[in-house]
Structure 1
Amino acid sequence: MGGGGDVRAGGGKRRGLPLRYLSQSESLSFSRPPQAGCFVRRTDGKEAFPMAELDTDVRAIRGIGEQRAKALAKLGVGTLRELISYFPRDYDDRSASRPIALLEDGETACVEAMVAAPPTLARARRGLELVKLRAVDASGALDVTFFNQTWLKSSLTAGETYIFYGRAERSGNRRRMVNPVVEPAGRGEQTGRIVPVYPLTAGVSQLILSRSVRQGLDACRSILPDPLPDDVRQEHHLCRIGFAYENIHFPASAEALELARRRLAFEELFLFTLGLRRLRSRRDTARTDPFRPVDMERFYQALPFSLTAAQRRCVDEALADMRSGRPMNRLCQGDVGSGKTMVAAACIYFCVKNGRQAALMAPTEILAQQHYEGLSALLEGLGVRCALLTGSLRARARRDVLERLALGQTDLVIGTHALISGGVEYERLGLVVTDEQHRFGVGQRAALAAKGSHPHTLVMSATPIPRTLALILYGDLDVSVIDQLPPGRQKIDTVAVSGGYRPRLYAFLHKQVEEGGQCYIVCPQVSESEDAPDERKAVTEYAETLRREVFPDLRIAFVHGKMKPKEKEAVMSAFAAGETDILVSTTVIEVGVDVPNASVMVVENAERFGLSQLHQLRGRVGRGTRKSYCILVSDSKNDETRQRLRVMTQTGDGFRIAEEDLRLRGPGDFFGLRQHGLPGLRIADLGCDAALLKEAQSAADALLARDPALSTCPATAARVEELFQQKADTLN
């Protein structure tokens, strides 16, 4: 088998490794002695100890000092448990070697060869030193060059055999490798096996992380508690936890890796299901005074349009919840422009007519202001007293709002996080609405709900989510879907172009502005590091280039996530007021104020965004009467990238786009579970593990049916509690 293949733990495409399930009669050994030099040291620097507790500080590992510990902390690794639970994102199959003569140009492979002569050191220029050598096997010779790795001159010995792993280059009969991984033949640390590939950060290399995990496993693998009850593990033919952890990090074979991955994915889905089922069970037992029926015709007749059948269905589902005598906990999910706010307005009207107060929380002040202007104009004519509460309110105005709220003289308050700040009291809070749910964690939603006594909760999301993923993200919620758009909602023409079209693109933007329109240009965030200035630099430099070289006669502004909230609000308000022609931004405008005059959305480097995010960005335009366009700019030659962008040009259906996004990218890139206060999925891949999810859910339901409190499975109960400890409310 040739080198260079890979196998992914996420359950996606696997190349180079034929995977199969073992029969029950087969067995795989995972026991192995610790590698030389691999042990855990005591934090006091004295003698090494062979075992450790799972919560032992990661600095107890040999080779991890203060600086490396800080780097690992950025990866969420601070203890031995977190270290051994930091799973690889990918794998390189380096288990087989190729003869030198059979290496193809561009092939990544392992070569076992002898160093023919002492390596030489040459200085190409200042700051660039080259170590060169020739390695040979029975089939031919390989020229090897290392850049700025001068220590290899004395480390690699003539006459000794080494394994070289890298990308081969072929010119005629000559083969060469540049900067390959190299280690003595037989060591088996970086070659000769399936090698894990971990997500990294500055200061931590693959080798350092792999060696650290090796030590961590040797120290505490035997004391890992197994959260899967034995009967569940056996019934579903799953390996033991020690085998799983060993082979997810250091797979003995492709089969062992698949067994480990399947067990850990099942465990993840099983525990997640248990936690969500217990949340729902506890919610189902909560009781509140049922709302009485209300004649909703007055509300419907006050609307300047008729609700769609989908909107009416969602309203009916929510009102049935509020009449049921148990707290509503419902998600209203709909595409951009589907009319979720009117569903919320109906629920607010119903709540107020039952003598209770309602609160609507939006992620930004400008969006809260927009909601206030729209809803107050509608609801105050129906006798609903509205107020706006944001952080920028002056002290006197804030005191007035708080006083009227506490006395019950305000029926609906709309605001930002200010709604959950100290000092905010409600006389009789009956309904909590959160807009753009993915911008709020579960803790924030719970904090607002805690302002009342079991108030009803309605969360709204404009991000269409595939049903499979919604079962995970919103497993503790009932879900209503608005699956049709109001009549008259215009189609946004979407095209994908290369950077070569930029001159024509700029001419098109200029024409749109001349005709009275406004345009967005979105730049991707270059770095995922919160401390990096790349996001700010990319946006400000691009905006300055446009202002100076491309559109000197137009009004150009920029906005990015590093700006202070008030600065962002000011820029967005100016754009909404028509004081800016072109707004250059990061995805900070993904959720923002409606600008009906905005007619063009340009997304630079569109390949860096998920389809669902591109769909959200596209939804920023087409909100008025102007014909609107979305232009995706990408120079990527990758077939999968082109396929993804082609989907955007073919459909405006957010749910179809979401399904395609999940299929192509997996859930990890789709949506941040941690935003919801729910544990993330590190191994399970909902794109490939749908059958495993059903199996895990069935097992969880069976366990809860016979033991709702999990009293016979203390390790399971403890792990579920630990995973869901981010939630503001407990599972008990």
Structure 2
Amino acid sequence: MNLQTPVTTAGRVYKLYARRLEKLGIKTFEDFLYHIPFRYDDFSLISKINRVQPGEVVTIQGTVSEINNEFTKNFKRLQKAEIADETGTIEVVWFNQPYLTKIIHSQDKIALSGKIDWFLRKIVMQSPDYEIITNSPSIHTGRLVPVYSETRGITSKWLRRQTYNLLKENKNQFIEYLPDSTLVDHSLVTISEAIEQIHFPQTLTKAERSRQRLSFDELFLLQLSAMHRKLNWNKNLISNPFSVDKFKSETTKFLSKLPFTLTNAQKRVVEEIFKDLAKTKPMNRLLEGDVGSGKTVVSAIAMFLSYLNGFQSVLMAPTEILAQQHYKTISQLLTSFKIRVGFATGSQKMRIKDFDVMVGTHAVLEKGINFDNLGLVVIDEQQRFGVEQRAIIRSRGKNPHLLTMTATPIPRTIALTLYGDLDLSLLDEMPHGRKQIKTWLVPAEKRLNAYFWIEKQVKETKSQVFIVCPFIEESETMQTVKAASKEFENLKNNVFKNFKLGLLHGKMKTKEKEKVLNKFRGGKIDILVATPVVEVGIDIPNATIIVIEASERFGLAQLHQLRGRVGRGDMQSYCLLFTQSLNLQTLERLKAMEKHNVGSELAELDLQLRGPGEIYGTMQHGRKMLKIASFSDFELIQKVRKEAEKIFPNLKNYPRLLEKLKTINLKQISPD
């Protein structure tokens, strides 16, 4: 069996479980083997029955004397078994698992692993893992037992069995691809040993060494992939680099007509971009800057230079709301210079030739759209576009310059690892006169006071309010988390009866969203209740208060982006973080929002406090960027980077490593 085989194509069992496995990120059999345990239960202590004591976690082996379904006094069903070995007998109890009497039979040889406890004044083994003893090695008992991330209908026990069978069938498929020198220099175990011992380790030391090897591989392959992309990018020469000096007077005039003065950071970044645009190789730059730091203006200046050089530009955004916002801003900046700005959506067909600058969503990737003279591509919100989309955009023109922008604060280690193929520019300064947003953490007992304060602010200053909730509908498993639709009704009918409220969420159709936003923009809505769809693209200068419900559910980087929805005008703005959490570590993390206003600082802090997989918040991306390694392991990242730089120039000498690079999923390389 090829490890790249989709699980849906092999066997009835996998077809039945395919949809559930997909929730765990498992689509191929290789994914299966890289779904590694997050901990191990130590069931390696095998005890005789007469030696076990309450409180111990042990494995016992014996014969089933009897097993029955019984009912308690409260009419709860339980399963009782008596197990015997040569030293004595012990009662084993499970709760509400009647199927066990069909699986376990009298006289079966069995191994059981679990905790010894008191039950109805007797020493019993309660709810243990079990395994019928055969000639095969034990998987669930009598050893270090792997415990995996699960989902509904997929248990660790099921995953263990399938993983064991896969390893057995594919033992010879794990061919070493790292150079011998790399293995020796970094004291790494072989890939076959790492895969086997991460799932079924003989000792915890071997499990840890396996994890180290797989972490190294994950980061190493990411680094090499980024270097490979950068090399390929640089191979594509542009026949007509942009002239910068020739149009110095025009760009100076353009800058002088802006309704504001550029910050020093904007001037620095424009200079970096102009240097790139003047080169014969296409620009590939990532522009990172907080919400409101002026990224769109910087991109407009680059588009202006593209126009002067006789080229078209395209700006692409992940959502129609954000695309419209950009279209409005870009039009205001460029149309007075006779530059034709167009807007492309999925529902509109238009002649691209008629425009100098095209703003749109993914619609610009449609097959029917071709750019005759594309010189510059600007992509906003880099996190939401993958490598594949960027490649498609480039293929539409003659190797255009590429500027990607993000308001998501990216810690340096992540930027170096995930975006090693891009040059990085940072807008670390806010426009002159912009007031810092005052942020307060609001515990449950101060909620009513906060509502009174909001009411007073709206009445006295005529300002508008965002209230952000993490879920659209009430979650069955998280009853305490405010749902936007339910909270909207509560606020409208009970809290803010005298104000006009609106509701905005991701499941609404584009036209419905536009209608609500236009009402909010026009002052016909005082308070907008929304899901994190407000995170990008909504620019309401009159909105000065944002309330974030269940703020502990978000990462600091995402909270910072949400906070950026206010503070767009001249008035003092406020961010209220509502939480019911009493966890001291959680409260400490949220208090960082009161102290820090710079996104990059918060991102680094989030990396330390909350862990790498949560930086952008599961509400936005739904999956971790790394499966095994950790972005907080700075030492390993530095080692891996040095090794990649050493190996990359001679990559063609390592055919197995090259082959491995080809099989990497593009989505793992760059979050989409």
Instruction: Please report the TM-score for the alignment, with normalisation by the length of structure 2.
Output: 0.86
Superposed displacement of residue 326, structure 1: 1.1
Where 1:495 maps in the other structure, the secondary structure is strand
User: Contact between 1:61 and 1:216, CA under 8 Å: does it hold in 2?
Assistant: no
Aligned in 2, Cα 1:69/1:348: closer, same or farther, shift over 3 Å? closer
* Counterpart residue identity of residue 478, structure 1: D
Where 2:371 maps in the other structure, the secondary structure is coil
1:469-548 map, 5 Å: 469-515=414-460, 516-525=462-471, 538-548=483-493
Superposed displacement of residue 134, structure 1: 9.5
Equivalence for 2:270: 315
Equivalent residue in structure 2 for 1:606, among 536, 546, 551: 551
* Counterpart residue identity of residue 149, structure 2: P
Superposed displacement of residue 93, structure 1: 4.0
**Separation of aligned partners in 1, 2:557 and 2:389:** 24
Matched, 1:80 2:33: no
Equivalence for 1:712: 653
Matched, 1:326 2:308: no
Unpaired runs of 5+ residues, structure 2, are none
Equivalence for 2:353: 406
Equivalence for 1:34: none
Larger mean Cα displacement after TM superposition, 296-305 or 573-582:
573-582
Equivalent residue in structure 1 for 2:540, among 591, 595, 599: 595
Output one character per residue of 1:172-220: Cα deviation in whole Å (capped at 9) or x when no partner. Answer: x998886454557998533443332222222211100111001100110
Superposed displacement of residue 629, structure 1: 1.8
User: Contact between 1:443 and 1:728, CA under 8 Å: does it hold in 2?
Assistant: no
Larger mean Cα displacement after TM superposition, 291-300 or 649-658:
291-300
Superposed displacement of residue 144, structure 1: 7.2
Where 1:278 maps in the other structure, the secondary structure is helix
Where 1:64 maps in the other structure, the secondary structure is helix
**Separation of aligned partners in 1, 2:498 and 2:659:** 64
User: Contact between 2:44 and 2:59, CA under 8 Å: does it hold in 1?
Assistant: no
Equivalent residue in structure 1 for 2:236, among 286, 300, 321: 286
Equivalence for 1:302: 257
Output one character per residue of 1:36-78: Cα deviation in whole Å (capped at 9) or x when no partner. Answer: xxxxxxxxxxxxxxxx443456479888253223422443434
Number of residue pairs matched? 654
1:119-158 map, 5 Å: 121-123=70-72, 128-131=76-79, 146-152=94-100, 155=104
User: Contact between 2:387 and 2:666, CA under 8 Å: does it hold in 1?
Assistant: no
Equivalence for 1:40: none
* Counterpart residue identity of residue 523, structure 1: C
Aligned in 2, Cα 1:561/1:143: closer, same or farther, shift over 3 Å? farther
* Counterpart residue identity of residue 643, structure 2: A
Where 1:525 maps in the other structure, the secondary structure is coil
Aligned in 2, Cα 1:580/1:536: closer, same or farther, shift over 3 Å? farther
Equivalence for 1:272: 222
Where 2:153 maps in the other structure, the secondary structure is coil
Where 2:653 maps in the other structure, the secondary structure is coil
1:83-98 map, 5 Å: 83-96=32-45
**Separation of aligned partners in 2, 1:655 and 1:423:** 40
Larger mean Cα displacement after TM superposition, 249-258 or 559-568:
559-568
1:561-576 map, 5 Å: 561-576=506-521
Equivalence for 1:721: 662
Equivalence for 1:365: 320
Where 1:479 maps in the other structure, the secondary structure is strand
Aligned in 2, Cα 1:75/1:333: closer, same or farther, shift over 3 Å? same
1:639-658 map, 5 Å: 639-658=584-603
Matched, 1:702 2:646: yes
Where 1:432 maps in the other structure, the secondary structure is strand
Equivalence for 1:16: none
**Separation of aligned partners in 2, 1:640 and 1:432:** 43
Aligned in 2, Cα 1:119/1:390: closer, same or farther, shift over 3 Å? closer
User: Contact between 2:59 and 2:141, CA under 8 Å: does it hold in 1?
Assistant: no
**Separation of aligned partners in 1, 2:130 and 2:474:** 30
**Separation of aligned partners in 2, 1:301 and 1:322:** 21
Q: CA RMSD in A?
A: 3.9
Matched, 1:215 2:215: no
Aligned in 2, Cα 1:375/1:58: closer, same or farther, shift over 3 Å? closer
Output one character per residue of 1:351-406: Cα deviation in whole Å (capped at 9) or x when no partner. Answer: 1111222211222333222222222222222343323333455xxxx54xx1xx41
Equivalence for 1:238: 188
User: Contact between 2:386 and 2:667, CA under 8 Å: does it hold in 1?
Assistant: no
Where 1:196 maps in the other structure, the secondary structure is strand
Aligned in 2, Cα 1:691/1:421: closer, same or farther, shift over 3 Å? same
* Greater percentage in helix: 2
**Separation of aligned partners in 2, 1:715 and 1:528:** 50
**Separation of aligned partners in 1, 2:581 and 2:46:** 33
User: Contact between 1:524 and 1:535, CA under 8 Å: does it hold in 2?
Assistant: no
Superposed displacement of residue 728, structure 1: 12
Aligned in 2, Cα 1:334/1:121: closer, same or farther, shift over 3 Å? same
Where 2:454 maps in the other structure, the secondary structure is helix
* Counterpart residue identity of residue 390, structure 2: R
Aligned in 2, Cα 1:594/1:147: closer, same or farther, shift over 3 Å? same
* Counterpart residue identity of residue 343, structure 2: L
Equivalence for 1:15: none
Equivalence for 1:8: none
Superposed displacement of residue 341, structure 1: 1.3
Superposed displacement of residue 459, structure 1: 0.9
Larger mean Cα displacement after TM superposition, 384-393 or 282-291:
384-393
* Counterpart residue identity of residue 595, structure 2: Q
User: Contact between 2:467 and 2:546, CA under 8 Å: does it hold in 1?
Assistant: yes
* Counterpart residue identity of residue 271, structure 2: D
**Separation of aligned partners in 2, 1:177 and 1:506:** 53
User: Contact between 2:418 and 2:669, CA under 8 Å: does it hold in 1?
Assistant: no
Superposed displacement of residue 458, structure 1: 0.8
Superposed displacement of residue 532, structure 1: 12
Superposed displacement of residue 347, structure 1: 0.9
Aligned in 2, Cα 1:500/1:442: closer, same or farther, shift over 3 Å? same
Superposed displacement of residue 259, structure 1: 1.0
Where 1:711 maps in the other structure, the secondary structure is helix
Where 1:373 maps in the other structure, the secondary structure is helix
Equivalent residue in structure 1 for 2:344, among 361, 367, 389: 389
User: Contact between 1:121 and 1:150, CA under 8 Å: does it hold in 2?
Assistant: no
Where 2:322 maps in the other structure, the secondary structure is helix
* Counterpart residue identity of residue 237, structure 1: S
User: Contact between 2:345 and 2:361, CA under 8 Å: does it hold in 1?
Assistant: yes
Superposed displacement of residue 684, structure 1: 1.2
Aligned in 2, Cα 1:123/1:168: closer, same or farther, shift over 3 Å? closer
Where 1:625 maps in the other structure, the secondary structure is coil
Equivalence for 1:49: none
**Separation of aligned partners in 2, 1:501 and 1:133:** 54
User: Contact between 2:473 and 2:486, CA under 8 Å: does it hold in 1?
Assistant: no
User: Contact between 1:112 and 1:185, CA under 8 Å: does it hold in 2?
Assistant: no
Aligned in 2, Cα 1:727/1:100: closer, same or farther, shift over 3 Å? closer
* Counterpart residue identity of residue 686, structure 1: F
**Separation of aligned partners in 2, 1:635 and 1:325:** 56
Equivalence for 2:635: 691
